[in-house]
Structure 1
């Protein structure tokens, strides 16, 4: 992917985010001793992104029977992370989810949510597998890590009633995807060529993911969501710019 394409993909993301990643975070991320935590946290983030998208389908778009079947489909990926159960090389053959497997939704926005989230789930789990491949190449073993404050820091501001709660979750999803995209681009020049090329390869799908989240949020909301986007943008920027003792892929300024 050449520089002009990268700049074209990043331009709307940089306009959407209310701040850039601080240089102090990049300086910490460049340290070789932090490669393991970055890769493991990236791996977990890809699974969580798929889980979050699956949760939205299950909660807002399908019946209980279908929701249970979808939960079962995701189990091999979760078992590897949470139970250290299974062979990671076999997961590539388990990423077979299609829109045809999910019944049509009866809600006004449900089918669009299904269509966008199924594509996102498949891509996030493909990235999950790619990170596992890279960890294997680099000799990085998976180890349990604590979640950083980032997503939780935004989720605590979600409204308690629908459809506003769903709209808020979609806006938060957009910020997580956009920040991931921005950080991949920031990190790429400072890591070796193999990892840098991988980070750049993720930009196109991550850029589309944040836009899909925003389009869904506006489709579902009865009101213009511009102010709500700004609200969460401010919270997201504060989490990125404020001191943070815990270094992770989405953490704040290392303290």
Structure 2
């Protein structure tokens, strides 16, 4: 992924991922949860794209972009579960974070506003995922580092696909108005503490060590 594209995503998001979340994510005891929830996120992303395909059958550009996105997300899901299998991590049920549900609470229920807001939510989820892959990669073991870095290009493209479709659905003025609403909500979800660690959870309630300590230790083995 080009640096300029990552810069665009960082500018789009209302705030960076808190260092305390990165500290929590790289703890060895959280690796299983990180991978399980990552796999769940890939499944949900594919499901969202398929739901849009079924609901908006007269929007040909949406159909093409979401079809491609669904295929890529399921490929990522396959890659995550392959890593889990290799590491002996069972695929167990865990609760979802409040992140995606919190964003969707702001989605309007009437059309065409519902489509516009749903696309904007998709843009935020993909952008935040991309930003977190980039934040995490330097502190992970070589296999996970390479894998997460390999996801940056596709996740960045997914963010742009959702945003472009939103601009087609609503126009620049309405999109900017709705982006302001979702930016406030997204920032709150990212910065408000969460008791449970998840891929999209907010800042942890507590943090045992600083990010500077993680950096001094090098990558997570």
TM-score, normalised relative to structure 2: 0.90
1:47 alignment counterpart: 43
Counterpart pick for 1:246 among 169, 174, 196? 196
**1:88-123, Cα deviation, whole Å (9 max, x unpaired):** xxxxxxxxxxxxxxxxxxx3xx10110100110010
What displacement does 1:7 show?
Answer: 2.4
Q: Distance in 1 between matches of 2:33 and 2:2?
A: 26
Considering only CA atoms, is the larger Rg found in Structure 1 or Structure 2? 1
> Where do residues 48-63 of structure 1 align in structure 2 (5 Å cutoff)?
48-61=44-57
1:173 alignment counterpart: 122
After the TM superposition, which parts of structure 1 deviate over 6 Å for at least 4 consecutive aligned residues? Answer: none
What displacement does 1:6 show?
Answer: 4.7
Q: Count the aligned residue pairs.
A: 204
TM-score, normalised relative to structure 1: 0.78
1:209 alignment counterpart: 158
Larger relative contact order (CA 8 Å, sep ≥ 6): 2
What displacement does 1:8 show?
Answer: 2.5
Counterpart pick for 1:18 among 14, 19, 25? 14
RMSD: 1.1
1:70 alignment counterpart: none
Q: Which runs of 5+ in 1 are unaligned?
A: 62-106
